[in-house]
């Protein structure tokens, strides 16, 4: 496997099997993570939100979001099985969830903010895989991207709707204040050894800290468009 500026392009699962173990381990780690987290998010946020949605139209669109998030898990799981990941490793059971999934969602406004902000974070992750050196993962990222964009737009439009009333605007701001501080950690640690491997092999393109900075900029602009503000994050120790 080349470690030069132009990494080897791995076009299918057969070529994948001929790659060095460190490359295969790195790809499997990403696919496993996506399979687990897409399913966990669908279970704890998207499916429960159907009951919280206030109108038949909102329920219909929330059902679509839930269906697509479950579909993302299915796609990543199917790819994982093709590259040798046991199915049990791609299920949430027995694994520590990402901190963003520990948020105790109980209201429609909270769900809309989750879609607004967390799905934007996921868009950045998927963007980074869109030129991945492992082409089946690249193709999966490109297939997933329109749906992730729809989920983020869903959050934006329903947050806009809520913000038309003073009560709704306060509910959205309150949810942002409580949920947003969980999101920067979604991008991983600065100076990550795993991320360095991903970039070395051309699986990912950017450092965690670069993606986090981009996300914080985009999130600030998005929230300010709603006439709201992001909370000040505590400084890292």
Reported as a single tens digit per residue, the pLDDT across 8-42 is 999 999 999 999 999 999 999 999 999 999 999 99
Count of domains observed in the chain: 1
For Cα atoms 60, 63, 64, give the angle at the middle one, nearest 5 degrees.
90
- Domain span including residue 197: 13-225
Q: Above 90 in pLDDT, residue 97?
A: no
Quick one: average pLDDT of 70-88? 98
Residue 187 belongs to domain with CATH number = 1.20.1260.10
Residue 236 lies in a domain: no
Residue 8 lies in a domain: no
Reported as a single tens digit per residue, the pLDDT across 130-189 is 999 999 999 999 999 999 999 999 999 999 999 999 999 999 999 999 999 999 999 999
pLDDT in the model for residue 6: 80
Residue 231 lies in a domain: no
Quick one: average pLDDT of 218-222? 97
Mean of pLDDT over the chain: 95
Residue 30 lies in a domain: yes
Residue 3 lies in a domain: no
The angle, 0 to 180 degrees and rounded to 10, between the axes of the packed helices 56-82 and 108-129 is: 30
Residue 237 lies in a domain: no
Residue 4 lies in a domain: no
Which CA distances in Å does 69 have to 14, 42, 172, 223? 28, 6, 23, 24
Q: What gap in Å lies between CA 212 and CA 200, rounded to an integer?
A: 19
Q: And the tokens for 7?
A: 């990494």
Q: Give this prediction's pTM.
A: 0.95
């Amino acid at each position: 496997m080349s470690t030069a500026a132009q990494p080897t392009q791995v076009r299918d699962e057969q070529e994948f099997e001929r790659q060095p173990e460190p490359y295969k381990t790195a790809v499997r780690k990403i696919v496993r993570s996506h399979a687990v987290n897409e399913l966990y998010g669908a279970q704890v946020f998207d499916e429960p939100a159907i009951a919280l949605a206030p109108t038949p139209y909102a329920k219909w669109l929330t059902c679509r979001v839930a269906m697509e998030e479950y579909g993302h898990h299915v796609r990543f799981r199917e790819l994982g099985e093709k590259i040798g990941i046991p199915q049990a490793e791609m299920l949430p059971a027995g694994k520590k969830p990402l901190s963003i999934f520990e948020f105790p969602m109980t209201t429609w406004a909270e769900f809309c903010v989750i879609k607004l902000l967390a799905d934007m974070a996921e868009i950045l992750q998927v963007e980074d895989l869109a030129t991945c050196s492992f082409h089946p993962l690249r193709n999966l990222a490109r297939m997933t991207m329109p749906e992730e964009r729809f989920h983020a737009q869903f959050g934006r439009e329903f947050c806009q709707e809520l913000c038309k009333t003073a009560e709704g605007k306060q509910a959205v701001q309150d949810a942002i204040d409580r949920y947003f501080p969980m999101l920067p950690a979604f991008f991983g640690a600065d100076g990550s050894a795993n991320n360095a491997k991903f970039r070395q092999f051309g699986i990912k393109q950017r450092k965690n800290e670069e993606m986090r900075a981009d996300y914080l900029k985009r999130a600030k602009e998005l929230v300010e468009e709603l006439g709201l503000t992001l909370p000040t994050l505590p400084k890292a120790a």
